[in-house]
Amino acid sequence: MSLIKSISGIRGTIGGSVGDGLSPVDIVKFTAAYSTLIRKISTNGSNTIVVGRDARMSGSMVQKLVVGTLQSMGFDVTDIGLASTPTTELAVTMEGAAGGIILTASHNPKQWNALKLLNQNGEFLNKAEGEEVLKIAEKDNFAFAEVTELGKVTEKDYTDKHIDNVLNLKLVDVEAIKKANFKVALDTVNSVGGIILPKLLERLGVKTVKTLYGEPTGDFQHNPEPLEKNLGDIMNLMKGGGYDVAFVVDPDVDRLAFICEDGKMYGEEYTLVTVADYVLSHTPGNTVSNLSSTRALRDVTNIYGGKYNAAAVGEVNVVTKMKETNAVIGGEGNGGVIYPESHYGRDALVGIALFLSHLAHKKMKVSELRATYPQYFIAKNRIDLEPSTDVDAILAKIKEAYKNEQINDIDGVKIDFADSWVHLRKSNTEPIIRIYSEASTMEKANEIAKQIQNLI
């Protein structure tokens, strides 16, 4: 059993002893700690917390515990039920709520669940706020409400409001999408994407939609991370012909992957690159992704005269950098698109609508569109260390060894070469160093990683 407490929330496997898995006691404790913090930091005068969840098998159980705890802390609850992560984020601002809790373990397998914690802007808590939640929980430093002050629960469905938000974006060209008469396949991995994505496509004017694993049972029929090794069924469907593009999402619908008309992966790193190309072609400006994301976003940004900036890994860090640099588009290389015109959160619905608009204007096959972008390959390696190893000392020596290259040390050490890069980060939970490298071929990317491994 596993329980991981971090500044971005608490996640763990269902079952086991208190403190060993995500037990009911842990759920109550961390919900109460979050309530204590949010009452202190919220400035909009609201007494409401929004709660939404993906379709995990444990979701209903966790939701009842979270909602009951929020009531016991004196908060009213807007329960939006089965909802994507971006839907919940939008609901917080639309409700004018004090905060929100998303019940999802994202791409983790079905035995996992998590509490993801939002502020009044529908954005994830920052590092200091997350650390404060952990401190409050550790000390059991919270007080429950008297019986006359218990919160009330209101149930609402925000599915259509989220879709309205997407369709109202200026760059979403519904008429062009309708005219293109796209045929689309989906893999929604037995979660909330199966509820909201067919409705989105219908309202975008897509008449032909084939959905694999659309029933939101939470009993995922394959590993839910949208990577090529997990997507054999939808790739085989596409190889059979008859569809222009396939969209694949994770259980909470904040990550988005494309599959070309010939059944080949588009590449999750290029989800953001392609959407950014479309956005920048209409609204030139700056972009942001994290340090471990493809250089192709920088290349595309330069074409339109904007400036690319890199952020530390983590959505909250990307959002912070986007606000600092007034970026018009940003996100992460795992298929996460953040478009401020909608909201500051990864949103697969926004990604789909902007991509289809772009594709409709380009009048290309998806594989042809992919070929228009710079070709890079990312290798993901790691080095296992002894628990006693001083990882920071190793990273400092790597930094010294490459001091004549362009170095970014805001999150580990990233070394930028003329035609490639390598990024080293220590794990927060294991004695390992993750080594991500990118070059024009996979062989070159792995060769760079091997050089670093040998040096270590």
Active-site annotation, residues: 106
Strands 413-416 and 421-426: antiparallel
Cα dihedral sign for 21, 27, 32, 33? Answer: positive
Burial of 307 (C-beta count, 10 Å sphere; 0-12/13-18/19+)? middle
Q: Are 356 and 366 in contact, with CB atoms under 8 Å apart?
A: no
Q: Are 355 and 258 in contact, with CB atoms under 8 Å apart?
A: yes
Residue 424: C-alpha distances to residues 98, 141, 208, 419, 435 (Å): 37, 37, 44, 17, 5
Residue found under tokens 């639309």: 94
C-alpha span between 152 and 137 (Å, rounded):
24
Residue 269: C-alpha distances to residues 191, 209, 336, 346 (Å): 23, 25, 9, 14
Q: Are 313 and 334 in contact, with CB atoms under 8 Å apart?
A: no
C-alpha span between 143 and 151 (Å, rounded):
14
Q: Which residues contact 393 (CB under 8 A, 6 or more apart)?
A: none
Structure tokens at 253: 């619908």
Structure tokens at 309: 């900036």
Burial of 285 (C-beta count, 10 Å sphere; 0-12/13-18/19+)? middle
